[in-house]
Structure formats: structure tokens, C-alpha cells
Structure 1
Amino acid sequence: MGVRIAVISDIHGNHYALSKVLEDIKESDVDEIYCLGDIVSLGHQTDKVMDTLNQLENMKFIQGNHDDEVVKAFKGKTSEIKGPEHEHHLYIAEHICLEYIQKLERLRLTATAEIYGHNILMTHYHLDGNGLYLPIDEKPTLASLQKHYDNSQYDVILFGHDHMTLHIEDENRLFINPGALGVTVDEFSPYTIMEFGSDGAIDLEFKKVSYDRDSFVKELRNENPPALDFILKVLLKEEG
């Protein structure tokens, strides 16, 4: 057996989904978990998510844009985000413990690894030359992805952010987006298992794990955080 990595992204404060995915990961005998950011915000179970992740020893984290915005809100820093979304970040910042703000603040934008000759880049999304997130590409192609990494040493690019599960590759580079673990339009939460063989092969398994989405949505409605209407209708595709 090679090195097995579970890749998760965009938990967004959904502990119902996270707990079920972690149960499945435990049964899948992985060596390490890579988390591609947006750990908090949108969902209401912030500290519960952070409590659970904090107990895991075999995990690599990077920061997502929502993690950064919650830190800014907590510290009273200026943000380009305005309106209900910013109010939501302020709400999350008011309901998260200081220890976890500090943890989110320490996270880097990217992380790297090397497994059996493969150079792996973890990034929440593609960055420009100034380290800023590029606009979301709604219809990514191999060509549109490759242009961001033309001069890159990395042959495995792991990213999230756009909430789309994606697998695109050619003979030189592999792009994987495991999908949004915590923002789903049905009761199945996505993640990906990658197995790196000593011969250089990479086997992929795209998984979907059932969770209690109805309870998550019900509790979210009861919490009634800022931007709830947008979260329910646009992100979760809920009606009424």
C-alpha cells in the first residue's frame, strides 16, 4: 500500500458533515488529511468544528478567504467585504473562542508536500503574483488551470473555494478540487482520497458521505445569522 491522503475543503462551520466525513476517513486507513481552507463561516457550528479538528494529529491546514475574513472581523481590521456577508463574518467572530482565532490567523495561504517524487501544492484557490485570490472560474478547463502554474514546480495542485468537485489532468500535472464538504445541496458531503504509489502512480477515489443535512439546516434557521437568506437560497439551494 502507498501513502494515502484524504483531501477535504470548505467545511464552512458544518459539524454534521465534518463528523461523518471524518468517520469515513477513519475507516479508510489514511496516513494524513489535507484541509484546503474555509474551515469556518456560513455554518453556525464554528467552535464545534474547531474542537474536532484540533484533536486530529495527522492533519495539514491552510487558510481560506472566509477564515481570513473572520480573523479580520475579530480584530476590527478593514475588509473589502461589505453588507450582509461582512455582518456574517462579524457574527462568527463574536461566537468563536480566542484560541481558534489565533489558530486561524497562524494558518498559511499555501502548503507543500513531496510524496514519492510528486510535488504537491495545497492552496485554497489560485493566487495572483501578489498573493491575492483570482476571480472564480465558473468553467475551468485544463488550459485555464495550466496558465496559472506554467512556471510552477508542482505537478499536483489541490484547491477548493469554488465548491465544485473537479478532476483534470494531463501527463504533466494533476488538478483536484474535492468539493465543498460543508455546503451541499443534498445530504451527501464530498471529499477525495489520493493514494500515492512508490512507482509514481496516483489512484483517486471521490467519495460522498451521507450526513444529517436536515438538522444542520434547521439549526441554522434557528440561529438566524446575518446573510441567512443568501446562505439558504444561493448556497444551499433551499426554498422558503
Structure 2
Amino acid sequence: MKIAFISDIHGNATALEAVLEDIEKKNVDKIAVLGDLCFRGSEPKRALDLIRSLNTDVVKGNADEWVSRGIKEGEVPNEALEIMRKEREWTLKQLTTEDIDFLTNLPTQLTIKLSDDIEIHAFHATPNNLFNMVLPNQSDKELAEQLMQQTSADIFLYGHIHLPYVRFINGKCVANLGSVGLPFDGSKNASYLIVEGEDKHFQVSVHRVSYDVDYVIKQLKEKEYPNYEFLRNVLVKASLS
């Protein structure tokens, strides 16, 4: 079986369309989505509609939780709380009640059989928490403790950190998808994973897709996005720094 995993679209429907077009060329059997669908981007409604049209497995991310119930103190730096709440309000105005219900009711993890012998455990940040940050440079022990809790699984996939990587720990694979809509690794190209396997054999690969970043920035300005300068800088630099 061949499965594409995407996450962290963040309302960037232009990047999502480019990724879906690229996936279509790869002849995958399935697409799975690991959260953060529409918050903090120029086209939250269109991005969410594209995801829903896939009629596939979708798990909840922290940004989906924020859209559905608000951003609590302590979940973001104090100095960012006011503007992020304004971003949420802007996003809510683009969505329907049905859209909000969809985000609210998403599951938080997913198990998929890649083959009779290979199981994938997928989630947004960690299996038990939508907000925890598990970074690529953490030790094998830290990654295993936080991400590899489902002992029956062979492959562990997550999003959230916007930094794609693939590592092998004790014969099992841990990988991050990166981000479709807001990469943080210095490459402006959208990022996603393809996992392919048969019997006991598998491979996990990161794929990068270019899209019109300038057009997305123009959209943000025209739509008077409330945190425009910050988001423009992230899109241009593909980094938070």
C-alpha cells in the first residue's frame, strides 16, 4: 500500500492544491490528514472544503482545537495571545457552523495497517497531547517516550512542528510531515510524506512541492488578515526566526 500523509495546511489552500496535484501523480492508495487545517491562513474555508472533499481520515490539531473552542492563556506566549485571538475571530467569520462542528468532532489519533505486517500510528503532536513540541534533535529516548507509545506500531508519524525529518529508533521509524502551508525549515516549498510498504518492507519519504507564495501573501493583504506582517515574514523566510 502507498499512503500520502499531509498536515499543517493552515488555511493555505493554494499550497494544498499544489500538494494534492503532486500526490495525484504518485498514484497513492490513500491520503491521511494530521491536523491544523484552516487557522492562520488566507483561505480557511477553501482549505477545509478541499480536505473534506477527500472523504478520508483526518485527525485534530491544536489549531483546529483553537478554532473550535478558543485559545486559552498559557497555550501561547502572553504577548501573542491578543493577536492570535483576533486571527481566530477572523477565521471563524469565514467558516460555517457545520465547519466548526467538523473540527470539534475530529479524532486525535489514527492507526492504519500499511500491510499485514506493518502498522502506522499517526497523530498531530503526541498521542496524548495536541500541543507538545517534539523536535528533530531530541534524543532517541525522548522521541521514544513521547511518540512511540503504541507498541504494536512500526511507524510513528506526526505534524505540528513544521520540520520534516525521518529517523529510525530501535528498528522502528519516526517521521514528521513538515507543513503544507507554513514550512519552518527554510524551504518555502510545501512538505508532505509518502509511506509505501509491502509485507515487512517499507519506505518513508519526504516530498517538497513549490507553489505561488507571492500570491498567498497578496491574498493575506487584500483580505486584511489581522496578523499580516508576521505571517508574510514566515511565508517569505519559511522560518519563525
- Please, what TM-score do these two structures have when normalized by structure 1? 0.86
Residue segments in structure 2 that go unaligned for 5+ positions in a row: 76-80
1:221-236 alignment, distance < 5 Å: 221-234=221-234, 236=236
CA RMSD, 1 decimal: 2.1
Aligned-residue identity in percent: 27
Offset at residue 28 of structure 1 (A) = 0.7
Alignment partner, residue 180 of structure 1: 179
Residues 135 and 104 (structure 1), Cα distance of their counterparts in 2 relative to 1, 3 Å cut: same
Alignment partner, residue 145 of structure 1: 143
Which amino acid letter does the alignment assign opposite residue 193 of structure 1? I
Q: Which aligned runs of 4 or more in structure 1 are off by greater than 6 angstroms?
A: none
Which amino acid letter does the alignment assign opposite residue 72 of structure 2? S
> 2:92 aligned with 1:99, yes or no?
no
Offset from partner CA, 1:7-45 (integer Å, 9 cap, x none): 111000001110011011111111111111001111110
Offset at residue 142 of structure 1 (A) = 2.5
Which SS does the other structure have where 2:57 is aligned? strand
Offset from partner CA, 1:69-117 (integer Å, 9 cap, x none): 01114xxxx7235211122112101211222111111101111122222
- Equivalent residues, number: 228
8 Å CA contact 2:6–2:32 kept in 1: the answer is yes
Which SS does the other structure have where 2:38 is aligned? coil
8 Å CA contact 1:127–1:134 kept in 2: the answer is no
Residue segments in structure 1 that go unaligned for 5+ positions in a row: none
Residues 136 and 225 (structure 1), Cα distance of their counterparts in 2 relative to 1, 3 Å cut: farther
> 2:68 aligned with 1:67, yes or no?
no
Which amino acid letter does the alignment assign opposite residue 64 of structure 2? D
Distance 1:17 1:228 in 2: 18
Alignment partner, residue 237 of structure 2: 237
| Farther off after superposition, 216-225 or 149-158 | 149-158
Alignment partner, residue 190 of structure 2: 189
Which SS does the other structure have where 1:180 is aligned? coil
Distance 1:30 1:86 in 2: 38
- Please, what TM-score do these two structures have when normalized by structure 2? 0.86
